Amino acid sequence: MKRELCHSLILVWLPLASSWALGDEAHNFLRNPGFEQTEAGQVAAWQVAGSWQGSLQAAASEGAARGGRRCAELSAVTDRGKAWGRMFQLVHPSEVTARRFRFSVWAKGQGECLLGLIQYRPPQPGQLHYAYAWQESPTPLTDAWQELSFELQVLDPRVHSFGTAIEVRGEGGRVLLDDAALVRLEPSGVALRITPPLAMVAPGAETCLEISAEDQGRPLSRGQLRLFLRGPEDAVTCQDVPLAAEGTTRYPWPVPVEASTGVHRLIALHVESGAVAEAYVDVAEQEVIDAFERAAAKVKIGPLPARLLFLGDSLTDFQRGYNYVDKLAFWLQRGGGKVTVRNAGVGGDFITRVLDRLNHESSAYRPAMYEGLFEPSPTHVFIFLGHNDSKVSSTSDYTAQAVPPDKYEADYRTVLGKLRAATNARIVLLSASSSVFEICRANADKATAANRPHSLFGKPEELERYNAITQRMAAEAGVAYLDVYEPTRTHPDKRSLFDPNDGVHLTNAGHRLIALRILEFLAGE
């Protein structure tokens, strides 16, 4: 087994039955990709760096653009006998390590055009914090539009962002550019999976992960795995591990006694295909692990197979892979029990959005999150809402809630009726968690000073008002109510539970608390 820091970036060839497809729902990471937007007469979001040559401007003459009203025009400038021009945009994709990207743009004009990506790393003394990767050769330009594209796979775990670079070369070089895109690609056909996707252990313990690969549904037994291990402080090491002949590689992940507590991340790359999978290890103090183990030992969830469904807002949707739903799943599945979990949380949700999605309203926000929601039918449904419903607007002098209390109750009762009609599930309503209101208030004050309309989150009296409604509804409807407000409000280190930037979203410690509360609730049934 080879352990080292990885500092390479390579293109991967595919001798397998896989091909590349657009990933991340074909999300384009570029801003102003069609060059339609301008600022002070300049192309917005794109620039020519101060040390570069070239002239960049918006072209809006009739017939100039491939689509829309405008395109970009990049012209070469001659200096010291060399004629060239270069433009770029700084981009921060959500995930970079081990991912493959495709940068493309439509171009026509005179001269030659070349695409590249600048990979940025954290600054280090005596080292460049960036590296260029270019197409092997430039493309001769003509009067006809042609699509230029460049693909790469990032194997340097230090890279955190890109500069998408376009260069025109040649005396009199001039290129019109339109419809640029930077997208993440996913291999279709080859799938990589890590089991368990999350584990919780104490320092000094070891967890064993199984990394399995399939090609067109058949076990894949050839190739190399490259493992990127990232700790809470972002220190990264790499290991090269051969893929086991049977297609499943057992990887022991020992956690040193001196390991930092918090979330450690493993990214596994099947080098030959480009398939990627992730897993997490939440390293917690021994007393935290002991509390989870005590609760998990008492859980006798049934009927089996048990299928848990979670509905909620960003407190359920964010930090997927290691949030409270994932932690709970680990403890319920650790003993090999037949328990599955579906996280259908949607960031920004309030009860009316949940109802719209259940009603299949055409205007529903992110309707795909509820596709096949009751297939198979859940045995347990947990609903964790309240912060978005109870937020108050600055335009009402902080008196009008996003969802008025009467409507909150009416819509919630309708949701409960729909869940009961569609399933025989045990329904559990969670209270809204508390907040660090001083942070919420300070953010609102900043928005007020900037004369921006805004919402005030986490107001204690509003949270308590909505929690009281939820608790009363639960009692009247004969469903369970689980209080997470008081445990978060009275926690001795309350600030450790909440994001210091907004005072509402949960930290890893906050997710642990919610997961343990639900586990203890299940243990008491």
- Cross-strand pairs, 308: 341, 380
CATH number of the domain where residue 124 is located:
2.60.120.260
Per-residue pLDDT tens over the stretch 240-299: 999 898 889 999 998 999 999 999 999 999 988 889 999 999 999 999 999 999 999 999
Burial class of 267 by CB neighbour count within 10 A (0 to 12, 13 to 18, 19+): buried
Judge whether 68 lies within some domain: yes
Residue 212: domain span: 190-283
Of 283, 314, 346, which residue sits at a domain end? 283
Q: 242 with 389, same domain?
A: no
CATH number of the domain where residue 309 is located:
3.40.50.1110
Burial class of 1 by CB neighbour count within 10 A (0 to 12, 13 to 18, 19+): exposed
Phi-psi region of 274 (alpha: psi -120 to 50; beta: other; left: phi over 0): left
Question: What mean pLDDT do residues 174-178 have?
Answer: 98
Q: 276 with 290, same domain?
A: no
Judge whether 8 lies within some domain: no
* pLDDT-derived band at 1, boundaries 50, 70, 90: very low
**Residue 412 pLDDT > 90, yes or no?**
yes
Per-residue pLDDT tens over the stretch 433-445: 999 999 999 999 9
The Cα 343–Cα 266 span in angstroms is 21
CATH number of the domain where residue 248 is located:
2.60.40.1930
Write phi, then psi, for 377 (nearest 5 degrees): -65, 130
Q: 306 with 350, same domain?
A: yes
**Residue 335 pLDDT > 90, yes or no?**
no
- Cross-strand pairs, 217: none
Residue (of 501, 489, 519, 191) closest to 326 by Cα position: 519
**Residue 2 pLDDT > 60, yes or no?**
no
Per-residue pLDDT tens over the stretch 179-206: 999 999 988 788 999 999 999 999 999 9
Q: 177 with 221, same domain?
A: no
Task: Give the least confident one: 62-71, 165-174, 346-355, 363-372.
Answer: 62-71
Question: What mean pLDDT do residues 58-64 have?
Answer: 89
Q: 108 with 148, same domain?
A: yes
Residues in Cβ contact with 449 at an 8 Å cutoff, skipping those fewer than 6 apart: none
- Domains contained in the chain, number: 3
For residue 74, the one-letter residue type is: L
Question: What mean pLDDT do residues 416-439 have?
Answer: 98
Q: 183 with 256, same domain?
A: no
> What percent of the chain has a predicted confidence (pLDDT) above 90?
82
Question: What mean pLDDT do residues 408-429 have?
Answer: 98
Judge whether 493 lies within some domain: yes
Residues in Cβ contact with 480 at an 8 Å cutoff, skipping those fewer than 6 apart: 426, 427, 428, 429, 474, 521
Q: What is the pLDDT of residue 17?
A: 45
Per-residue pLDDT tens over the stretch 91-135: 999 889 999 999 999 999 999 999 999 999 999 899 899 999 999
**Residue 216 pLDDT > 90, yes or no?**
no
Of 127, 160, 188, which residue sits at a domain end? 188
Q: 178 with 221, same domain?
A: no
Per-residue pLDDT tens over the stretch 452-465: 999 999 999 999 99
Task: Give the least confident one: 18-32, 209-223, 281-295.
Answer: 18-32
Residue (of 157, 122, 155) closest to 236 by Cα position: 157
Q: For the whole prediction, is pTM greater than 0.75? A: yes
Q: What is the pLDDT of residue 396?
A: 97
The Cα 402–Cα 485 span in angstroms is 20
- CA distances to 28, 231, 325, 328 from 341, rounded to whole Å, are 30, 26, 8, 9
Task: Give the least confident one: 80-84, 235-239, 461-465, 518-522.
Answer: 235-239
The Cα 178–Cα 35 span in angstroms is 7
Burial class of 302 by CB neighbour count within 10 A (0 to 12, 13 to 18, 19+): exposed
Q: 119 with 262, same domain?
A: no
Q: 257 with 308, same domain?
A: no
* pLDDT-derived band at 7, boundaries 50, 70, 90: very low
Judge whether 271 lies within some domain: yes
Q: What is the pLDDT of residue 15?
A: 43
Judge whether 29 lies within some domain: yes
Residue (of 152, 135, 20) closest to 99 by Cα position: 152
Judge whether 3 lies within some domain: no
Q: 158 with 215, same domain?
A: no
The Cα 447–Cα 453 span in angstroms is 7
Per-residue pLDDT tens over the stretch 361-401: 999 999 999 999 999 999 999 999 999 999 999 999 999 99
Of 283, 307, 322, which residue sits at a domain end? 283
Judge whether 63 lies within some domain: yes
Q: What is the DSSP string of 186-244?
A: EEESEEEEEESSEEEE-TT-EEEEEEEEEETTEE---SEEEEEEE-TT--EEEEEEEPP
Q: Are 5 and 159 in contact (CB under 8 A)?
A: no
Per-residue pLDDT tens over the stretch 463-501: 999 999 999 999 999 999 999 999 999 999 999 999 999
Q: 320 with 370, same domain?
A: yes
Q: Are 110 and 173 in contact (CB under 8 A)?
A: yes
* pLDDT-derived band at 505, boundaries 50, 70, 90: very high
Q: 429 with 324, same domain?
A: yes
Decide which of 94 and 167 is more confident.
167
Average pLDDT, the chain: 93
Judge whether 103 lies within some domain: yes
Q: What is the pLDDT of residue 189?
A: 83
